[in-house]
Amino acid sequence: MPASAAPTPARPRPLVAGNWKMNGLEASLAEIAAMAGGYDDALRGRVDLLVCPPATLVGAAVAACAGKLAVGGQDCHPKASGAHTGDVAAEMLADLGAAYVIVGHSERRADHGESDAVVKSKAEAALRAGLVAIVCVGETEAQRRAGEMLDVVGAQIAGSLPAGASARNLVVAYEPVWAIGTGLTPTPADVAQVHGFIRERLAAALGEDGAGVRILYGGSVKPSNAAELMGVANVDGALVGGASLTAKDFLGIAAAYRSQ
Ligand code: PEP
């Protein structure tokens, strides 16, 4: 085979992940059961689904999913145990049957002052516990206006990626802070630029494995814009906040993959 005809790496299997944030009581488990019920064979053949409820519901969500959807946490402590009142260890999430954990969400970076070093230590805790780490990155509106978007995302990637990362244990979510919960989204061209940049950085950090790491887009994804956003190069799924709270909208977003 001539060098120019080297096979393009296979596109990673897409993942649509729901981040419930601080929403959800026991009654909300009915939505998770409905998600599992609506995750039909055709959809299962094309996309992975994950729901990340608050820590209080992780165990019950695992039961409600009946093995169909994966369940994840929204944060974890770097340590496996100890005197850290109110925190949850990655091992505790794994013990409940979680398979993923989100780390470095912009709300935690802002509300709890989490630095890249802290996010990295949490991602390493996830790997230690056998979880897949979803590492979130993204620029603020002011940083985008100042033209610092790629510098900010590049620094977050460099500072937050866990040692030992691979395509099997790492997902990166690009979430422009100004798009979260606002109804605003970047243009597909902007998303393509940042996702392409993240892919390059992953390849530089992880070699061939960088091509297999899923890069999710997050920020005001809805059923009505999912197909366009999920069709952008190097977008391997979505991290969804508000629209993941109901089975109807969450499955409506996943349905973008029926035609991809
Ligand atoms: C999020 O918080 O991860 C998110 C993407 O929220 P929303 O979809 O509501 O913008």
Could you tell me the pTM of the whole model? 0.96
Write out pLDDT tens, residues 125-159: 999 999 999 999 999 999 999 999 999 999 999 99
Ligand 1 mutation pick, 20, 141, 180, max ligand atoms within 8 A of CB: 180
Beta strands in 42-127 (DSSP E): 48-52, 70-73, 100-103
Q: Which residue(s) pair with 41 in the sheet?
A: none
User: Is the pLDDT reported for residue 51 higher than 60?
Assistant: yes
- Residues 119/111/23/241 CA torsion (nearest 10 deg): -60
Question: If you average pLDDT over residues 24-30, what whole number do you get?
Answer: 98
Helical axes 116-128 vs 149-160, angle rounded to 10°: 40
Mean pLDDT of the chain: 95
**Residue count of the chain:** 260
Q: How far is CA 32 from CA 1, 25, 107, 117, 162, in A?
A: 48, 12, 23, 33, 30
> For ligand 1, is residue 221 a contact (CB within 6 Å)?
yes
Q: Which residue(s) pair with 17 in the sheet?
A: 50, 239
Say which of 105, 114, 124, 139 is annotated catalytic: 105
Q: How far is CA 149 from CA 154, 220, 247, in A?
A: 8, 18, 33
User: Is the pLDDT reported for residue 6 higher than 80?
Assistant: no
pLDDT at 1: 36
- 148: three-class secondary structure by DSSP: coil
Phi-psi region of 25 (alpha: psi -120 to 50; beta: other; left: phi over 0): beta
Distance 240 CA to ligand 1 centre (A): 5
pLDDT at 7: 53
Residue 38: HSE in the Cβ half-sphere, 13 Å Cα cutoff: 17
Write out pLDDT tens, residues 77-121: 999 999 999 999 999 999 999 999 999 999 999 999 999 999 999
> For ligand 1, is residue 180 a contact (CB within 6 Å)?
yes
Distance 107 CA to ligand 1 centre (A): 10
DSSP state of 89: B
166's CB contacts (< 8 A; 6+ apart) are: 206, 209, 213
pLDDT at 3: 44
- What is the full DSSP assignment across 14-52? PEEEEE--S---GGGHHHHHHHHHH--HHHHTT-EEEEE
pLDDT at 230: 97
Q: Which CATH number fits domain 15-245: 2.30.42.10, 3.40.50.300, 3.20.20.70, 1.20.120.1200?
A: 3.20.20.70
> For ligand 1, is residue 177 a contact (CB within 6 Å)?
no
Contact between 18 and 51 under an 8 Å Cβ cutoff? The reply is yes
pLDDT at 11: 84
User: Is the pLDDT reported for residue 4 higher than 50?
Assistant: no
Q: How far is CA 188 from CA 148, 157, 218, 228, in A?
A: 18, 21, 13, 7
User: Is the pLDDT reported for residue 10 higher than 50?
Assistant: yes
Write out pLDDT tens, residues 159-207: 999 999 999 999 999 999 999 999 999 999 999 999 999 999 999 999 9
Question: If you average pLDDT over residues 53-57, what whole number do you get?
Answer: 98
**In the chain, domain spans:** 15-245
For ligand 1, what atom is nearest to the CA of residue 107?
2
247's CB contacts (< 8 A; 6+ apart) are: 31, 32, 34, 35, 37, 38
